[in-house]
Amino acid sequence: MKWLACIALFSLLPLAAPAVAGERPEWAFGPEQPAPRRPDDGKLLQAPGSAKFYTQAQIDDPMHPPDWFPDEHPPMPRVAAQGNGTTVRACIGCHLSNGHGHPENSRLPGATAAYLTRQLADFRSGARAGVAATMINIAKGMTEDEIRTATEYFAGLKVLRWTRVVEADTVPKTYFRGNRRLQLAEGGSEPIGERIIEVPEDPARNALRDPHSGNISYVPVGSLARGAALVATGGSGKTIACGICHGPTLKGLGDVPGIAGQSPLTMARQLYYMQTGERNGAMAALMKAVVAKLGADDMLAISAYVASREA
């Protein structure tokens, strides 16, 4: 297995000193207390091109979220579509029927079923602690058969271009609804600073959990070039070239997942969690030397560049 080759390669590298976590990339995290969602007015809503209608309350139902386009994917396992009715939420409520989710979630396509199974095992064991308690509880509540069918389903889906990366000096003014950043309806702009601002291309469709409507990621001017150097060469000892394990196009090798086109906010959070030790496990161990010396500015550049690559 190719990920075992990565373990062999990394075993030849000098061990990194225990990492002292760098500055936390605050722009990659939502508010600690999510803002309230908009109340449901009972109006029937429809995703463009779908024949189905739901109220906002139905769309937000954690056990019965909408599958707007059931003819566009293979048969969906029950746990993905409806959860178990009690402790396990429907997977598509967060990750959507295409598996790509929102910036506060992880993209699932682009990883093998074996990799996804290991991540659920790490949630169960507590090795992955740098996440909302929701995912830990879901993993603990899933049966082995539910894990198998869900991971096979999402691993079999096509990887899509889901976020459009734009270098910019200024960005739209934003606010949070739930733990998702949205553009202010009245407009306005502000300096981007040292942040990545990822927002829906179409906020209304995003609220519908429409699997046809992705995101736009604004990144600071110059961050793509800096990220390209870090990803390709390691930046003169700052880190290790990503292509060694993730492949020359960053689309994955064997059980090492593809990261090209991934949400930059997701990327930055995972880099930080692996640096702090909040994300552990067999696969995360390969990343210890990679993240040990990264600062928040490095995580920004790497995440921006990786997100800009063809998925």
Domains and CATH numbers, the chain: 2-28+34-161+223-308 (1.10.760.10)
pLDDT for residue 10 is more than 70: no
Q: Residue 19: its pLDDT value, please?
A: 44
Question: Any idea of the CA torsion for 30, 32, 33, 38, to the nearest 10 degrees?
Answer: 10
Query: CA 8, CA 68: separation in Å to the nearest integer?
Result: 45
Of 40, 56, 33, 35, the closest CA to residue 176 belongs to 35
Average pLDDT over residues 186-194: 95
Residues 6+ apart with CB under 8 A from 221: 167, 168, 169
Q: At what angle do helices 223-233 and 296-308 cross, to 10 degrees?
A: 90
The region of weakest confidence among 5-14, 21-30, 236-245 is 5-14
Q: Are 200 and 182 in contact (CB under 8 A)?
A: yes
pLDDT band at 14 (very low <50, low <70, confident <90, very high): very low
State yes or no: pLDDT of 4 exceeds 60: no
Q: Is the pLDDT of residue 75 over 80?
A: yes
pLDDT at 301: 98
Mean pLDDT score across all residues of the chain: 91
pTM of the model: 0.92
pLDDT of 39 above 70? yes
What pLDDT does residue 11 have? 45
pLDDT at 185: 86
Tens-digit pLDDT profile for residues 236-289: 899 999 999 999 999 999 999 999 999 999 999 999 999 999 999 888 888 999
Residue 304 has pLDDT above 70, yes or no: yes
Q: Is the per-residue pLDDT at 193 higher than 50?
A: yes
Is a pLDDT exceeding 50 seen at residue 18?
no
pLDDT per position as a tens digit, 100-137: 999 998 999 999 999 999 999 999 999 998 877 889 99
Q: What is the CA radius of gyration of the chain?
A: 19
Residue 32 has pLDDT above 90, yes or no: no
Map residue 219 onto helix, strand or coil. strand
Residue 169 zone, left/alpha/beta (φ > 0; ψ -120 to 50; rest): alpha
Q: What is the pLDDT of residues 154-183, one digit of tens each?
A: 999 999 999 999 999 999 999 998 888 999
pLDDT of residue 167: 98
Distance CA 45, CA 206 (A): 12
pLDDT of residue 86: 92
| Rounded-to-5 percentages of helix, strand, coil across the chain | 40, 10, 50
| Alpha carbon distance 3, 308 (integer Å) | 24
Tokens of 228: 């390209």
pLDDT for the residue 38: 72
Q: List pLDDT tens digits, range 194-215.
A: 999 999 999 999 999 999 999 9
Say whether pLDDT at 81 is over 90.
Answer: yes
Q: What pLDDT does 36 receive?
A: 75
